[in-house]
Structure 1
């Protein structure tokens, strides 16, 4: 199993939107590095759901439930999506400030390349985020 972080502007698409739908594809990615990360996702992988812009916090965990396939929002075959289902909402959101202030997370992609919309997360980082959420 691999771990990821997926980012969305909550006024465009929020955690609550995914929960309401129950299952949805992650579309609109137009960055090659983020696209390659989507191509690496497999069913069963878990993703931290991050609200960007004003909130800047990790709010939930989504599970990948498909292999990648053509992004239905474009005819350009370079762009792909995967399907996610909501797994669970974090007990407490974990803010970007909390992530940046925790030395154990200093190598996290979110800290070093915060603009990347789909990024890998190490298992240890994932577990630390969950622990922070519980405190």
Structure 2
């Protein structure tokens, strides 16, 4: 027979997952210059070259990803605070409403940043990210 998982257990697992995502975000932000120079390539027509050789594009990606990474950190931190209040069984408080509003502003800023990326490096994936974050900022 399958036992029901309590709501507190689900909240605890989700809270632990959010903490893990925050830590991974910090690790990626710390190693961002090496990650970009090692992974990201630019199509030059006859092949690909590492983005490090295109100084302007490299700086754009670095600044863009740092700003988006910080905004994602802020979103996860607000989410962590909301789930912490859920664990304390204090869900319907005014602070959670304020946190949701801040998360809405942060997701709208991520949408605006990715809309600038549409003009620099456009792809279907970027359009999907823009649409997803725009819809998230509407709720």
With normalisation by structure 1, the TM-score equals 0.25
Greater strand content: 1
Name the one with the larger helix percent. 2
Which structure is richer in relative contact order (CA contacts within 8 A, separation 6 or more)? 1
**Structure having the higher Rg:** 2
